[in-house]
Amino acid sequence: MSQTLRRSGAGKHCRSLLFAALLCLSGCQALAAVPGAEPAAPPVIRMSSPQADTQPKTTEAPASLSDLTSPETTVPNPTTPEITIPDPTAPEASEPEIPYQAGDTTPDWRPELAGRYSPDADCSPAQLLEKWLAVEGLSPADLEARGCRQLILTAAQPTDGVETLTVCYERAGDGGFQAVPGLDGFHGFVGKNGICHDRRRNTDTSPAGLWAIGTAFGNEAPPEGLKLPWRQVTPSSEWVCDEASPYFNTWQERGDPALTPWSDDVERLADYPFPYAWACVIEFNRPPDVVPARGCAIFLHCSEKGTGGCVGLLPNDLLSVLRWLDPEKRPFILITGMQITQ
């Protein structure tokens, strides 16, 4: 048995020497195949140390999508530019800033409040007034502060933003406002592009807000029983829209030698026999508180469709309203309702 073991050990030793010789030979052949090559240095296993490690690191792929969005691992994408979505309601940068005027409700306008109330068609006259005063940031106290005892409410409807519901109110003995029988549900119209807070000229919009009622006028004879001051249209009657004129947004007679001439940027009132058969002035953007960029010639007049910015009623309905209005009761019109999104 000992002889067998020795034989076996010698064989293992020979096989080991043969295997080493073969390894040496293959290494020499590999070195001979690449002239000038040196044996590669053995790999170095580095110990990670935040204080001493100054070598650049290779970022490993994140384990999950959350790794990309976590505050600790923000990976910017330089090929994706930041996208800014413009505010469609903001005025263009080239347009001048429009200062607010008496009657503006733009700063306090809260259209989202309308959703807390029933649709206009389901509201009583009292609920309707409460609803739209709230939306415009007004209260009965604001009407009282203006001495208002007559109020025309014109609310643009959600059907198209141009057709309106008009209700007339009068202040009662208890200080509240009550709808006037027979004047509590007229179908009317505003500008072809609806109403607008922060209204601009040449936009075919009616100015939202609370505006005083002024002089009545017309191409026809004054209505019987009219209490408002009246002015009859003549062939020379012009509403001056010339922004450079000191008479901007006023009625003047062309050819008056006492006046400084103005341009042809006017409305010749006689050229509108139907709309201005009977009408009254809405005191929007009127002297001395004028901003030409806001526009001019805003009236309550006869209409059967959307207007250029005025408020319209059918002729018989308008005559009823004109006869009711009394300057001693300081009448106002509240233009409100759904504003069209352009």
Q: Which residues of the chain have pLDDT under 70?
A: 1-100, 342
* CA–CA gap between residue 216 and residue 221 (Å, rounded): 11
pLDDT of residue 237: 98
- The encoded tokens of residue 154 equal 């014109």
Task: Give the 3-state secondary structure of residue 212.
Answer: strand
> Do the domain assignments include residue 164?
yes
End-to-end CA distance of the chain: 108
Looking at residue 19, what DSSP letter applies? H
The amino acid that residue 20 corresponds to is A
Alpha helices in the chain (DSSP H): 2-33, 66-69, 125-135, 140-145, 315-324
pLDDT of residue 287: 92
Looking at residue 329, what DSSP letter applies? G
Find out whether 285 and 216 touch, Cβ atoms under 8 Å. no
**Number of separate domains in the chain:** 1
Looking at residue 191, what DSSP letter applies? B
pLDDT of residue 65: 29
pLDDT of residue 196: 96
> Do the domain assignments include residue 122?
yes
Tell me the sheet residues that pair with 161.
none
> Do the domain assignments include residue 24?
no
> Do the domain assignments include residue 310?
yes
- The encoded tokens of residue 336 equal 């409100």
> Do the domain assignments include residue 27?
no
pLDDT of residue 97: 60
> Do the domain assignments include residue 71?
no
Sign of CA dihedral 33, 37, 43, 49: negative
Domain of residue 329, residue span: 106-337
Looking at residue 291, what DSSP letter applies? -
Task: Give the 3-state secondary structure of residue 14.
Answer: helix
- The encoded tokens of residue 54 equal 């100054």
pLDDT of residue 342: 59
* CA–CA gap between residue 333 and residue 209 (Å, rounded): 8
> Do the domain assignments include residue 47?
no
> Do the domain assignments include residue 249?
yes
CA 4 to chain centre: 103
pLDDT of residue 74: 34
What is the DSSP code string of 101-120? -TT--GGG--GGGGGGS--G
Strands 230-232 and 209-218 turn out to be parallel
pTM beyond 0.75, yes or no:
no
